């Protein structure tokens, strides 16, 4: 079947009247929920609606913990902490309270949750997302099933929380319902980001985001990141946690 010019014009007219119902693969899509500016213009330019979306699952796929992932979230966390609570669930190291305070985050707004098992951590996360008790939730999980991801995404959609899931970068090949997935690698003076998945055109080039607190030389980076592969003992003092984790 072929279309003449009149038919094509008619189709274009119909398309123009359905801006929210139709998405072109070469255009950045819009989220129905609101978004929060990331604090980094270059990153916002690559995110649908120019920011971190609320009410959905966001995956940050890490080459290793402590490469600046929380520094990347620092601006939005600082803004949220003024009026809302932030839950840190199963972080690989004890949170560094002094560093958070140095960022201007109120200590009374931060909640560290250490669950006894993966199932408990997932259940706790799901409940927080559903009841809306926190403005932001960050969950760390190395192994998580697709059905659990779907449950978390549905729970996030039921509220107004900004939700990040930290996973190993090896999970980038796994199926996920998350509409936004970013792979993070360490880079001198910042972090390198590959956009694995977004509602919009594919991105072929890595995005570099400058992070002021990140080391700028190889010697410092190796020294600071060496402990990042090791889990802090449960009874360790908070000051023993590498600063770059936060």
At 144-196, the pLDDT tens digits run 999 999 999 999 999 999 999 999 999 999 999 999 999 999 999 999 999 99
> Where do we find the tokens 């094509």?
8
Residue 154's alpha-carbon distances to 157, 178, 242, in angstroms, are 5, 10, 34
- Domain assignment present for residue 236? The answer is no
Is residue 23 a part of any domain in this protein?
no
- Lowest average pLDDT, out of 64-73, 81-90, 95-104, goes to 95-104
Coil, strand or helix: which one is 36? strand
Cβ–Cβ < 8 Å for 31, 56: yes
3: pLDDT strictly greater than 70: no
Tokens of 56: 């959905």
Candidates 217, 209, 223; CA nearest to 73 is 209
Measuring CA to CA, which residue among 148, 153, 150 is closest to residue 55?
A: 153
Sorting pLDDT into bands at 50, 70 and 90, what band is 20?
very low
CB 161 within 8 A of CB 179: no
Q: Output the pLDDT for position 24.
A: 54
Q: Are 193 and 206 in contact (CB under 8 A)?
A: yes
**Pairing relation of β-strands 180-187 and 162-168?**
unpaired
Helices (H) and strands (E) in the chain, counts: 7, 10
Of 88, 129, 108, nearest to 245 by C-alpha is 88
122 inside domain: yes
11 in any annotated domain: no
240 DSSP assignment: G
CATH number of 100's domain: 3.40.50.300
pLDDT value at residue 155: 98
Q: Where are the alpha helices (DSSP H) in the chain?
A: 5-16, 41-44, 69-80, 97-102, 118-131, 146-157, 218-225
In a domain, 227, yes or no: yes
End-to-end CA distance of the chain: 59
Nearest Cα to Cα of residue 52 among 128, 185, 161? 161
- The whole-angstrom separation of Cα 82 and Cα 105 is 7
Residue 39 has pLDDT above 80, yes or no: yes
Which residues fall within 8 angstroms of residue 197, CB to CB, at 6 or more apart? 176, 178, 179, 180, 181
pLDDT at 31: 59
Tens digit of each residue's pLDDT (9 = 90 or more) over 105-130: 888 899 999 999 999 999 999 999 99
Q: What is the pTM of this model?
A: 0.78
The residue that leads in pLDDT, 88 or 244, is: 88
Q: Are 193 and 32 in contact (CB under 8 A)?
A: no
Adjacent-strand bridge partners of 60: 166, 182
- Domain presence at residue 8: no
Is the CB of residue 191 less than 8 Å from the CB of residue 209? yes
Q: 168 with 181: CB under 8 angstroms?
A: no
pLDDT value, residue 213: 79
Establish if 4 belongs to a structural domain: no
Q: Domain range holding 108?
A: 35-231
Is 194 inside a domain boundary?
Answer: yes
How many separate domains does the chain show?
A: 1
């Amino acid at each position: 079947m072929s279309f003449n010019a009149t038919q094509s014009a008619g189709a274009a007219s119909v398309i123009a009247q359905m801006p929210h119902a139709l998405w072109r693969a070469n255009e950045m899509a819009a989220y129905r929920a609101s978004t929060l500016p990331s604090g980094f213009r270059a990153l916002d330019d690559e995110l649908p609606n120019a920011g971190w979306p609320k009410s959905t699952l966001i995956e940050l796929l890490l080459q290793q913990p402590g490469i600046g992932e929380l520094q990347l979230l620092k601006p939005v966390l600082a803004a949220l902490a003024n009026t809302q609570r932030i839950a840190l669930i199963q972080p690989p190291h004890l949170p560094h309270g002094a560093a958070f305070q140095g960022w201007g985050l109120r200590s009374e707004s931060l909640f560290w949750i250490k669950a006894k098992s993966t199932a408990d951590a997932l259940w706790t996360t799901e409940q927080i997302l559903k009841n809306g008790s926190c403005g932001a939730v960050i969950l760390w999980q190395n192994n998580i099933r697709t059905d659990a991801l779907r449950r978390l995404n549905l729970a996030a959609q039921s509220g107004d929380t900004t939700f990040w899931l930290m996973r190993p970068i090896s999970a980038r090949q796994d199926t996920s319902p998350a509409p936004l997935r970013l792979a993070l690698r360490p880079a001198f003076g910042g972090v390198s980001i590959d956009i694995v998945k977004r509602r919009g055109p594919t991105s072929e080039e890595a995005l570099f985001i400058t992070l002021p607190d990140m080391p700028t030389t190889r010697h410092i980076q190796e020294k600071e990141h060496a402990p990042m592969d090791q889990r802090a003992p449960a009874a360790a003092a908070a000051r023993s946690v590498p600063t770059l984790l936060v």
